[in-house]
Amino acid sequence: MFYHDGGKLQYPVRVDTPNPVFAKALQQAIGGIQGEIRVCLQYLFQAWGARGPAKYRDMLLETGTEEIAHIEMLATAVALNLEGAPLEQDEAAKDPMVAAALGGMNVQHVITTCMAAMPVDASGVPFNASHCYASGNTAADMLANAVAESTGRMLACQLYKMTDDAGMKDMLAYLVARDTMHQNQWLAAWEELGGRENHPIPNNFDQSIEPAEFNYTFLTFGKDESVPQPEGNWSGGESFDGRSTFSIERMTPRGEKPDLGMASPKAAVQKAQEDGGLLDKIMPS
Percent of the chain with pLDDT over 90: 71
pLDDT band for 145, please (50, 70, 90 cuts).
very high
Instruction: Supply the mean pLDDT for the chain.
Output: 89
According to DSSP, residue 180 is labeled H
Residue-level pLDDT at 103: 59
Instruction: State pLDDT tens for residues 67-81.
Output: 999 999 999 999 999
- The rounded distance, in Å, linking the Cα atoms of 180 and 223 is 43
> Bridge-partner residues for 247, per DSSP?
217
Please check whether residue 21 is in contact with residue 104, taking contact to mean a CB–CB distance below 8 angstroms: yes
Tell me the average pLDDT across 136-142: 97
State the pLDDT confidence band at 209, using cuts at 50, 70 and 90: very high
What the chain holds in terms of domains, given with CATH numbers, is 20-197 (1.20.1260.10), 206-253 (no CATH)
pLDDT at 108: 78
> Given this model, what pLDDT does residue 278 score?
47
Sign of CA pseudo-dihedral 85, 90, 92, 95: negative
pLDDT surpassing 70 at residue 277: no
Question: What pLDDT is stored for residue 18 in this prediction?
Answer: 92
CA distance 246 to 215: 9
The answer to whether residue 204 scores a pLDDT higher than 50 is yes
| pLDDT (tens digit per residue) in 83-129 | 876 554 455 556 665 555 555 778 778 778 878 898 999 988 999 99
Q: Three-state DSSP class for 219?
A: strand
Summarize pLDDT for 19-63 with one digit per residue, the tens.
988 999 999 999 999 999 999 999 999 999 999 999 999 999 999
